[in-house]
Structure 1
Amino acid sequence: MMKSFALATVLALSASLSSAASPKLMLRQNNPDDLMIFNCVDMPEVCTNMCWGAYCRSIGTGLTYDKPDASEKRRRRRAAGCLVSGGNRCSTRKGYDAGYQCDEYPFASTVGRGASDERVNRCVPAGQNSRQGGTINSFYQSAYCGGGPCDFTASFGNPGAAGVSYCNAYATPEDCDVDDDNQVVGPGGTQDPTEDETADDGTDETDPGEEEPTTEDKKLRKIKKRSKTFVGRYRTAVGTVIDVPGGAYIGQRAFYVEPVNATLWAEPAAALMGVQEMVDNLVVKETKVVEEIETWNAPAPAPAV
């Protein structure tokens, strides 16, 4: 009887320790060089904005999800230029077409780890913005990020897709010279938005997909330095072509999302879905870099005027 009790106690203690250790095990998966792939076929205007900020404004692709509260995210959206006096920059109130939202880079939920602390924005179709938000928040909720905080590197899948601009700017800096009134550098700063500076599209609220449990270990990983002029083009195990400034290595992990219901991922449904609805329709999958297509050395792109 005593032996049975002792055995049961040991098994219970072992299970408890195993359960308590799991958050740390998940956190150990976090590597700032791991790639979050945004499929530019599904969000060409969003990729255009991210590439313009990353390459033409030297913001870079290294990002840290630091679990900001709603107030901090509003400050970052204001710094990016999305929250302006009289309403969202991309709203009909400001004379923009219906069905557009203001997309900021870096994301309001992140800080950049590049050479510039600027924040930029572009008016993009609401459906594309929703797909980007679903991709980001699904990643945050995955075992990789564990609810955050976590470091990662944004990567642009199929950067040559129709409707995508600036994603080759790392190799050809002159691409940044294209005149585009829709690309805006935000005013920066850390001021709180006024009551008159609102998004009007629900993005002022806390993103439901980011309300995740905190992990026990909140220490950010040491960032591995990479060359700012070396660029590589690679293929993943699922066939996606990606460009990685600084280069990648065979076997490097990358994450992407796939919709459970393709109809909800497509227009017009995507534009009508909330963040958590989009997250619930996505599955985060892991792949890896399997082939180096080409690499080149390129001059660092000059900031756009």
Structure 2
Amino acid sequence: MNKSPEPQFPPTPLLDLPEVARIAKVARVFVKDEGQRPLGNFKVLGGMLAGIRALDRANVHNPRLICASDGNHGLAVAAAAKHCGAISRIYLPTGASIERAARIRSEGGEIAWITGTYDDAVNAAAAAAEQGEGILVPDTTSKASDPIVDDVMLGYGRICHELLSQLPEAPTHVFVQAGVGGLAAALAIGLRDYMAEPAHIIVVEPEAAACVSEGLTAGRPVQIEGDLETCAEMLSCGLASAPALEILIKCESRSLLVNELALERSVRTLKECEGPLTTPSGAAGLAGLLHAAGNKDLRNRLDLGSNSKVLLIATERNLSSP
């Protein structure tokens, strides 16, 4: 195959939401609206870049990209294959939505449904790659390093490059959601030298799928058991990515867990405060902020006060909203 050009995307908007700041009793709240990306979410930055580079490195005849996904990463990998004239197979857990599967098919992706969780889909995709069925484009790995996972996080780092020219002042706190931790790690390493004191990176996860929290406590990836069921579908992951976790530990990131009600309420709060129309996955950072803001002990532990300037990432657009 001839080398394919890597896609270039215009910056997404950064919103200043004073009503959210008032509710949280902080100075300012900025929200980066990643729902305005092509494909409607931030994963296009990592999945497309990594997929295109993987195809260029492989240089094989009639290539197929394969990956596991809850929906968004698979959509980006399918788009990468389509961009390069290749084919793709995306391994989805049976809990993934039919609507997300349909979007993957619209990009030419074949769906392989896997009984179980996202982690079961990860294992199935890896096994297929080992059997020579395609080129694996993962967004997570249990290894200390993986060049494709590194490319995924490198793609996410574009968000930081945009933020450095968009933010009117340096944030003191970043509340960022995590599935396997790749986005949180990209923000932690990309913004840590720019942030103002006290400079807290707070990783927000659903209580039912807190693999990054467990990994931060243990100092290594820890497999979470159970069905990982949460309304924040894109965060339903049971094992943190090892390279992402290493970065988060190095950057002294903090962990915060939120319940299902908080996740659902955060979607409504963003809408009511003229923020992006997103999902519980996309609004999880806000759920973390509001949970911390309403708890005196957490406010103190996170140095969250009336002078704090908070950055959130709305990671995906709610495609069912008008």
TM-score greater than 0.5 by the shorter chain = no
**The structure with more radius of gyration:** 1
Higher strand share: 1
> Higher relative contact order at CA 8 Å, sep ≥6: structure 1 or structure 2?
1
Higher helix share: 2
TM-score, length basis structure 2:
0.25
